[in-house]
Structure 1
Amino acid sequence: MVRRIEGAGRAALLVCGVLGWGATPSRAQDRTERLERLILEQQKQLDALRREVGGLKAARRTAPPQVAAKAGAAPAETPYVLKGGVPLSWRLPGTDIDIKIGGKVKADAIGRIGGNQSAGAEDLFAVAAIDTRRTRFGDDAVRIHGRESRFNLELTKSWTPLGRARGFIEGDFFGGGGNEIASNSDSFRLRHALIEIGPLLAGQWWSTFSDPSAYGETLDFQGAGGQTFIRQGLVRYEHKFAGGLSAALAVENPEGRVQFGPGAAVTSSRDTFPDIVGRVRYQGDFGHLQAAAVVTRTNAPNALASDETGYAGTITGRVNLPAIGAKDNIRFQATYAHGATRFIQETAGVSPSVFYDPATRQAEAQKTFGGYVAFQHWWTNELRSNLVYSYVRSDLPRFAAATTFKHSQYGAANLIWSPVPELDLGVELLYGLREDKDGATGTQTRLQSSVTYRF
């Protein structure tokens, strides 16, 4: 376009010169002046066109492909990655979706004294797995592993007719199937897989009854036995009110636990009805408070027993303590479960929700109380400590076996240094006590050190 205008200007000058060859001097001078003015006007138009073309080229170089396409221009190849709207994310080329990769690499070295534990409990401190029968004394051992390392992928679309949309999938290496003979390999397992659109969430995620933001910080993967630690399939609706108040209602995957007879194994029930969970949460400058409740149904294993309804209630929270330190805080949970033992972590794997007595054909729901308190103190901006204490106690039926779990205590104290925000170097001392129905006890002491790098 610019070259055509320049050619037209030269042609106009030539024509005007030829037409004015035989004219009088005055007419020739007038025509020369008009010609000069015409050339100046054309030069101004040419400069304006050059600026406009340059601006269009610059816009095509910098605009995202989808913006260029909407503007009617052909999408240009982008020679660099565009920053996404979610922190630490980037824009997926050709879309309005932000993608983020995250996770952590964690190495744990554990030394334990006493309390022989059942298989699968060596890499985490499950107090309920401590031996109380003195089948092996001492059981001093060392274990080094990286099973807590994890990887996740998050896809976010900032706007849909229902609100923000998000997909998240995460796994770690705490699955089964590993060995220590040659490769020390461990199976990758699913932790989370969810779809979130506006107020709706579906997939595998933290139970609505749980409150991970109130967990005490421990290097031990298990954590306090009195907490609720459940990730499961669910469908949840959450509404956020003004002033930091929110409420949620969910249907979640059921998993009733039954024991048919004092010496029988604890097994799953038939699970014909989902768990119904509701919660209310208040978030403020002081921290947060949360109250939740669940109703469950444990189905009888055979025609000799009846189905039983269970329930549980919990209060959790985190309260900031600025009078002690700018980042100091206390976290806690208190839970009562009646026929819903899996909503307290310590009893989830060892205690049934319902005991059935085949002799009398009576059923009795397991009643359990569990809780913990955790204090976090920051010595400096890079150095912090956590003190955690947990207590769990079950009210056992008279026909429960003598070896049935009754009571546990868990304590942890650690020191964690973060020279950079992504890196944690820590050491932790742990102690646990288990007591059975007949009063038999077992204890274990652990010393754990960990290195964690988050990305």
Structure 2
Amino acid sequence: MKLVKSLLLGSAAGLTVVAGANAADLPIKKAAPVEYVRVCSAYGAGFFYIPGTDTCLRVSGRARFEATYSQGYTRNANSGDLMGYRGLGRLNLDARTQTAYGTLRAFVRFELASRTGAYLKSGTQERNGNAFSATGVDTFNRVQQYVNVDKAFIQFAGLTAGRAASFYDFYAHDFEMIGTSLGSDVASTNLLAYTATFGNGFSATLSVEDPNFRKNPLFGTAVAGNLASQFIVFGNNGNLSPVLATNPAGAVVGEAFYDLRQTSRMPDFVGVLRYDSAWGSAQLSAAVHELNAGNAASVLGFNGVALPAGSAIAPRVNSEYGWAVQAGVKINMPFIAPGDTLYLQGSYGEGAQLYTGYSQYIGTYTASAGNAPGAAFGTFFTDAAVNPLTGKMELSTSWTVVGSYLHYWTPEWRSAIIGSYGEMSFGSTSRNLLGGLNFNGLGNPVNSNASFLFSPALRDTSQIVAGASLIWSPVKDLDIGVEGLYNRVDIKNGRVFDANKGATAALAAGVNANGQPVTAAGAVLATTNYADTFQVRMRVQRDF
């Protein structure tokens, strides 16, 4: 037994030595060091270092549900929606790196949304290329998908380059859900800007901006060869405007029809002076915006027949420059309640309606629109009309003022009160000339007097938008709220056809002894001098 025990112990010892020798011969593989994500505190909460770099990144976003009810007056065609819904998703990426010249920043924001129904399916977003509509029988004109690179800009040493909010804007609907008080708010445009900081809160910015997001159509109603429709038909047959054509001797022989669709020739130039302090901010903005037209698309005699080459001279429609100025102040009011803030802003422009924001509620990037489905008339927003005698653009004027006050009842409950007013004027010269420049073969007007007198085209208007909201934030970054607003447009002089009651220029045959428009059978057509509407919206929103 002692012999067996000794053999077993010896064998075990031998195996141990052999195993150790074999293990010593194997290469030793070191584990790769683990690089944990590090917090970056240089730029505020939420930033972290991208592994392997000295760049700090913050990822944030938003999820939102909205439902709205808005007034409507029609069930015709694709109209009639009173309710609308929207689901929206937002993703923000904010990357910053410290350099010898200061912070190098890149910011990107993507927004995607599904919109349906009244006032949440946005014609404005389709017109500027941010959305596309469904095409089904029941979904066309009421279901829309929204895809947008809302922001994509670089900031470095005072330079801002990329897609960003216009530097002209100040208040920009900061306290609103519906975001339709009168005032400029171009959240996404392409620009190249430089900001100089002077210290003590003062700064100045010069920005060169994409003009396409500030273009409203010029007024053009003519249909070449269909002279009777030059004033009473709008927007269905192109965007032409007539100007009298002469022969080489200077005698008027016909009309030249100019294509008023604008091209991109010059950027918009924006200048800003700003002051920021503990009490709030103040800003003065100015902008210059080019308006241009193409050459004559056709030259016709008064009988609607093309004139022989060289027999008529068409005057050139020269470019004009619209402009706008804006002043705003933001006042922090913690002495009433922590977080309370007041905005006051006013803007005036000529040939630059999208800088004053007069069309903000009703709809931009269109020459005219109603403030509700089946509205009594369309409100006009064109930047200029071409004088048919001289070929010179006559610029429209517009101005708006807005005040918005945010009040915290408690840290969880807050409200905003919004009020705005504006006016838009075209002057009588272009309207009267375009209304009268409709000729038959004898050179006499063919439009009925009623069609011109009661047309809403190029009518001076005033507008108010006022509203209030109540928002509950039970936990941080969660908002549940409701907002309502009222809109009214007034014709500043005279009356217009009430389309809500079936009255249009096409039905007018003349004016009776009481100055009312009538049909050929003598029936009086309805007229009005205002149109109003309201809208209510609720929202549930989570930011992260």
Query: CA shift at 1:354, angstroms?
Result: 1.8
Counterpart of 1:153?
Answer: 93
For the aligned residue pairs, the C-alpha RMSD in angstroms reads: 2.8
Task: Provide, for residues 127-152 of structure 1, a one-character-per-residue CA deviation record: whole Å limited to 9, x for no partner.
Answer: xxxxxxxxx8xx561112214x3222
State the Cα distance separating 1:181 from its structure 2 match: 5.0
Q: What TM-score, normalized by structure 2, do the two folds share?
A: 0.61
Structure 1 gaps, min length 5: 1-73, 121-135
Offset at 1:252? Answer: 1.0
Residue 279 to residue 408, structure 1, CA distance change in 2 (3 Å): same
Give me the whole-angstrom Cα distance separating, in 1, the residues matched to 2:354 and 2:533.
23
Residue of 45, 58, 63 corresponding to 1:105: 63
Asked if structure 1 preserves the Cα contact closer than 8 Å seen for 2:489 and 2:531, the reply is yes
Counterpart position of 1:229: 186
Are 2:134 and 1:173 aligned? no
Partner of 2:4: none
CA deviation vs aligned residue, 1:151-204 (integer Å, no higher than 9, x gap): 2222111x2233211111112235422447599661311211101112001011
Distance 1:97 1:186, change over 3 A: same
Q: Secondary structure at the match of 1:241?
A: strand
Alignment of 1:385-404 (within 5 A): 385-398=415-428, 399-400=430-431, 402-404=456-458
Which structure's CA Rg is the greater one? Answer: 1
Distance 1:254 1:181, change over 3 A: closer
Aligned to 1:421: 476
Cα gap change, 1:117 to 1:355, in 2 (>3 Å): farther
Q: How does 1:130-145 map to 2 (within 5 A)?
A: 139=80, 141-145=82-86
Listed as ranges, the gaps of 5+ residues in structure 2 are 1-30, 114-129, 222-230, 240-259, 296-314, 368-380, 432-454, 496-528
2:412 and 2:474 in contact (8 A); partners too: yes
Cα shift at 1:417: 0.8
2:157 alignment partner, one of 167, 180, 198: 198
CA distance in structure 2 between the partners assigned to 1:118 and 1:346 by the alignment: 28
| TM-aligned CA deviation for residue 415 of structure 1 | 0.3
Q: CA deviation at 1:358?
A: 2.9
Give the secondary-structure state (helix, strand or coil) at the position aligned to 2:393. Answer: strand
1:444 is aligned to: 533
Post-superposition offset of 1:326? 2.9
Tell me the amino acid that sits aligned with residue 107 of structure 2.
Answer: F
* Cα contact 2:358–2:399 (8 A) shared by 1: no
* Separation (CA, whole Å) in 1 of partners of 2:324 and 2:472: 37
Structure 1 partner of 2:273: 280
1:307 counterpart letter in structure 2 = S
Out of 38, 51, 57, the position equivalent to 1:82 is: 38
Q: Which residue is equivalent to 1:4?
A: none
With the length of structure 1 as denominator, give the TM-score of the two structures: 0.72
What CA distance in whole angstroms lies between the structure 2 residues aligned with 1:304 and 1:320?
Answer: 52
283-292 or 394-403, larger mean C-alpha shift:
394-403
Assess, with a 3 A threshold, how the Cα gap between structure 1 residues 385 and 276 changes in structure 2: closer, same or farther. Answer: same
**Is the 2:173–2:185 contact (alpha carbons within 8 Å) kept by the matching residues of 1?**
no
Shift of 1:81: 1.9
Quick one: distance in 1 between partners of 2:49 and 2:343? 37
CA distance in 2, matches of 1:238, 1:370: 27
The code of the aligned residue for 1:393 comes to E
Query: Deviation at 1:238?
Result: 0.3
What is the alpha-carbon distance in structure 1 between the residues aligned to residue 51 and residue 77 of structure 2?
A: 47
Whether contact under 8 Å (2:131, 2:144) holds in the other structure is no
Percent of residue pairs identical: 25
* Residues 117 and 146 of structure 1, relative CA distance in 2, 3 Å threshold: farther
Per-residue CA deviation, residues 319-371 of structure 1 (Å, 9 max, x unaligned), is: 12234223222112100011111112333434222211334423211110012
State the distance in 1 between where 2:139 and 2:265 align. Answer: 42
Q: Alignment partner of 2:281: what SS?
A: strand
1:162 aligns to 2:62 (yes or no): no
Deviation at 1:117, TM superposition (A): 11
Higher helix share: 1
What's the CA shift for 1:271?
2.7
Shift of the alpha carbon at 1:300?
2.6
1:235 Cα offset (Å): 0.6
- Aligned match of 2:8: none
CA distance in 2, matches of 1:352, 1:103: 37
SS state at 2:218 partner? strand
SS of corresponding position for 1:342 = helix
Q: Specify the alignment match of 2:407 in structure 1.
A: 377
> Paired residue for 1:340?
352
The alignment partner of 2:182 has SS state of coil
Cα offset, 1:116, TM superposition: 6.1
1:9-408 to 2 correspondences below 5 Å: 76-78=33-35, 80-84=36-40, 85-86=42-43, 87-114=45-72, 139=80, 141-147=82-88, 149-157=89-97, 159-173=98-112, 175-179=130-134, 181=139, 186-212=145-171, 215-220=173-178, 222-255=179-212, 256=215, 257-261=217-221, 262=231, 264-265=234-235, 268-302=261-295, 304-347=316-359, 348-349=364-365, 350=367, 351-398=381-428, 399-400=430-431, 402-404=456-458, 406-408=461-463
Q: Which residue of 1 aligns with 2:466?
A: 411
Contact 1:300/1:308, CA 8 A, preserved across alignment: no
* DSSP-derived class of the 2:290 partner: strand
Count of residue pairs brought into register by the alignment: 360
CA contact (8 A) 1:216 1:223 kept: no
CA distance in 2, matches of 1:411, 1:115: 21
Give the residue type in structure 2 aligned to 1:170.
R
Looking at structure 2, the residues matched to 144 and 280 of structure 1 have their Cα atoms a distance apart, in angstroms, of 39
1:259 CA displacement = 2.1
Structure 1 residues 282, 156: closer, same or farther in 2, change over 3 A? same
- Mapped to 1, the partners of 2:132 and 2:55 lie a distance apart of 36
CA distance in 1, matches of 2:316, 2:456: 24
Q: Is the 8 A contact 1:271 1:298 kept in 2?
A: no
Q: 3-state DSSP class of the match of 2:60?
A: strand
Shift of 1:248: 0.7
In the alignment, what sits opposite 2:503? none
